[in-house]
Amino acid sequence: MENTQPQNNTAPAAPVTAKPVAPTVSATTPGSAPRPAAAPSRSGSFGGGRDMKKNTGRRSTRPEKVKSEFDQRILNIRRVVRVVTGGRRFSFSVAIVIGNHKGSVGVGTGKGLDTALAIDKALKNAKKNVIKVNLVKGNSIAHEISLKYSSARIVIRPAEGRGLIAGSAIRDIFELAGISDVSAKIHSPSKNKLNIARATILALAQLKPSKVSMTKAVEAAPAAPVAVAKPVAAPAKPEVKPAAPVKPVAPKTK
């Protein structure tokens, strides 16, 4: 009996060979050990594999800076020196003007080791010395006023329809206070801005309200009822009886 085996008409499959992969070697200097290749970044950024911080949508807990109601201008900044044992100490002195353009204005000074600290101190000092100016229609003043402070002498006059006519520190104070239609003159050879500014503040503090506004306030106030006194009858005069005639007395004779 002959052994019969099934015949396979398909050709034998060719063996699959894997291609060799060249190892990645970083560029090194001759004589040094080869460095391994860096792992690829997962996030695809330039952080070398470090994940970038995700935006979670949370707001910062830092409080927002509130804008002050006063605008400020620096009059002057001086570097001052104090001689102490062992040397000299330098500091900065600042004079500042603040105002809200609605009639409130103030002047302050501050001293510190740097300008930022000196400005903060001057700002706090100016807020303590804020005054309210009595203005009339057109943001002008009611009457003329002159004042002398230290070596500064100034004169301020109302100038209707002419705008602001002033210079030096007086102009800065008027602009921050919201004053217009005013003419100011400095009648002193002194150019010290701090003395001029303080003289201006004292002059504005002595202004009186206008007579027109005072009369309107009196007219607007309701008149109080006046009590009418009833006539009182005069008391009757008592009748005076004529005195009886005195009889003459004859002298007695012995």
Residue 100 lies in a domain: yes
Q: Average pLDDT of 194-211?
A: 89
pLDDT of residue 177: 92
The number of folded domains in the chain is 2
Both 200 and 157 in one domain: the answer is: yes
Residue 116 lies in a domain: yes
Nearest CA among 72, 114, 60 for reference residue 96: 72
Give CA–CA dist 106/213, Å, rounded: 25
Q: Name which residue leads in pLDDT, 244 or 91.
A: 91
Residue 158 lies in a domain: yes
Whichever domain contains 168, its CATH number is 3.30.230.10
Residue 222 lies in a domain: no
77: number of Cβ within 10 Å: 14
Torsion (CA) 44, 47, 50, 55 in degrees, nearest 10: -80
Is there a contact between 152 and 186 (Cβ–Cβ < 8 Å)?
yes
Give CA–CA dist 235/42, Å, rounded: 120
Residue 92 lies in a domain: yes
Is there a contact between 92 and 119 (Cβ–Cβ < 8 Å)?
no
Residue 222: pLDDT band (50, 70, 90) is low
Report which listed range, 1-10, 114-123, 130-139, is most confident: 114-123
Whichever domain contains 115, its CATH number is 3.30.160.20
Range of the domain at 83: 71-132
